[in-house]
Amino acid sequence: MAAAGFVKQTQVLSLMLVLCWLLVHKRQHFLAVAGPALVVGLTGAAVMQWLFGDETWRHIITYTVGTYSLGNLSFQLTSHLLPWLPLAVGAWYHTFRNDLARRQLATWYLAGVSLLLLTSARTGSGFQYFLEWQLVVLLLLAPALQQLTMSVRPIRRSHVVGIATLMLMLNAGTASFLVYNWQSARNTELAFEKLCALAPKAPALTPTENPGAARACGARPALHPFIIANLTARGLWDELAFVEDVTAGRYPALLLPFNPGGVVDRVQHERWSPAVLRAMRETYHPLQTDRGWWLLVPVRGTPANSVAR
């Protein structure tokens, strides 16, 4: 668990939950777990400090704090918690049904990862913030379903119908979500087949929202827009040089899933700062559009010198 914290910072919570549970219910085993965890943590921290210096902690701690939005929290909970609510209620009921169950580590774990869902208020969060919670819900719900199916008591027909209906609804919802994601990915693939032929190639830099897709096109992404916008909003980075390059039309093209000259929704305002959006709108116009993606080039009269750093 201590090693997992170096892969994903939030995994430190799992270790803290275990240590708290040990202090309350298994105090005699606390040092046996806390000691090795402390050694692993200090060793890993020392290695990172030796390899990367103080920049390690600026990227792991300072840069990852982020900004938070109640609107984003509401959107994320509606998208990723609400469809799982029936299963979550079953898991909570099974783990909190009696005093013995409430003493189990699994119950503490479910409570901890449930509280962690509040971090999805962080701007830029997504489904990955809910994966651990969803896995825990399934793991804790499985014993309850097994007990129900193996019960010597006769199962009411209404229970069978209810469970079957719930499973069908969940399967239908999951299938619809997968089909939607597949269609979106397919549309992006088809759009890039057309736009990549017109996009500039490396070493020219191309501002885009999808650095991976840009690399697949042979383009060189200029930066990660959300990270830069977030750091700018928190006063941790000066975007002036980037804004000046966009305003001067020094990038030969922009590859975006929206038109800066049109309606810009909430998500785009989180990924690009107001100054960058304004510079895009004033300096670039669409050259080609396909399936929700735009390739924009500098308007007539502005230089199109590529920016390569």
Q: Over 90: is that where the pLDDT of 283 sits? A: yes
Which tens digits make up the pLDDT trace of 164-212?
787 787 778 778 878 888 888 888 888 888 888 888 888 888 998 877 7
Of 37-41, 195-199, 299-303, the one with minimum mean pLDDT is 299-303
| Residue 308: predicted pLDDT | 41
Averaged pLDDT, 48-74: 81
Select the more confidently predicted residue: 213 or 139.
139
Tell me which range, 65-69, 96-100, 180-184, is most confidently predicted by mean pLDDT.
Answer: 180-184
Report the 3 state secondary structure along the chain: CCCHHHCCHHHHHHHHHHHHHHHHHCHHHHHHHHHHHHHHHHHHHHHHHHHHCCHHHHHHHHCCCCCECHHHHHHHHHHHHHHHHHHHHHHHHHHCCCHHHHCCHHHHHHHHHHHHHHHHHECCCCHHHHHHHHHHHHHHHHHHHHHHHHCCCCCCHHHHHHHHHHHHHHHHHHHHHHHHHHHHHHHHHHHHHHHCCCCCCCCCEECECCHHHHHHCCCEECCCHHHHHHHHHCCCCCCHHHHHHHHCCCCCCEEECCCCCCCCCHHHHHHCCHHHHHHHHHHEEEEEEECCEEEEEECCCCCCCCCCC
Predicted TM-score of the model (pTM) = 0.67
